Amino acid sequence: ANRHTGSVDVYTRGKKFIHVDIEPTQIGRVFAPDLGVVSDAGAALKMLLDVATEWKTAGKLRDWSGWARACQARKKTLKRKTHFDQVPLKPQRVYEEMNKAFGRDTTYVTTIGLSQIAGAQFLHVYKPRNWINCGQAGPLGWTLPAALGVRAADPQRNIVA
């Protein structure tokens, strides 16, 4: 993606990056990755998951369970804003009401920006592939076509876009 604000160094310093793209001219377009892979994203992901599985079996991967617990604890502190009856309603309250209205099998499809950020923080998502977002690089207007793609893949799925 070529969207960022300020110095790229702020979020790249001290980190390793693998850039996967099927289009070779896109590799390293914004900053140089540690590894550039020209590949179909699905094939590259399978390869990366295979290596990660091997590393996990060999005990080479860092334990992230403490970080995950800290994220859950942080999420609980954000819920305090959900009960405000302000007008206009705050996103926290909207997402709390959505959590009450929609079941555990609901698939949420979001666009970029504040709705994506607030949705990621407040929506309750219980299953893999039930949170579909375009990431930071997605265009406005992405949500409806993406929701239609989810519908085409699974006509029975409950979708909120």
Q: What is the pTM of this model?
A: 0.55
Tokens, residue 12: 């790249």
The CB density around residue 99, as the number of other CB atoms within 10 Å, is 15
DSSP state string for 62-74: PP-HHHHHHHHHH
Q: Are 9 and 30 in contact (CB under 8 A)?
A: no
Residue indicated by tokens 């900053």: 31
SS3 of 136, please? coil
Read off the pLDDT of residues 41-74 as tens digits, 9 standing for 90 and up.
999 999 999 999 999 999 999 999 999 999 989 8
Read off the pLDDT of residues 114-142 as tens digits, 9 standing for 90 and up.
788 888 888 999 998 899 988 766 677 88
Domain 77-160 CATH superfamily = Thiamin diphosphate (ThDP)-binding fold, Pyr/PP domains (3.40.50.970)
Where exactly are the structural domains of the chain?
Answer: 9-57, 77-160
Q: Which of 15-29, 70-84, 85-99 ranks highest by mean pLDDT?
A: 15-29
Q: How far apart are CA 154 and CA 90, in angstroms?
A: 32
CA nearest neighbour of 48 among 16, 5, 81: 16
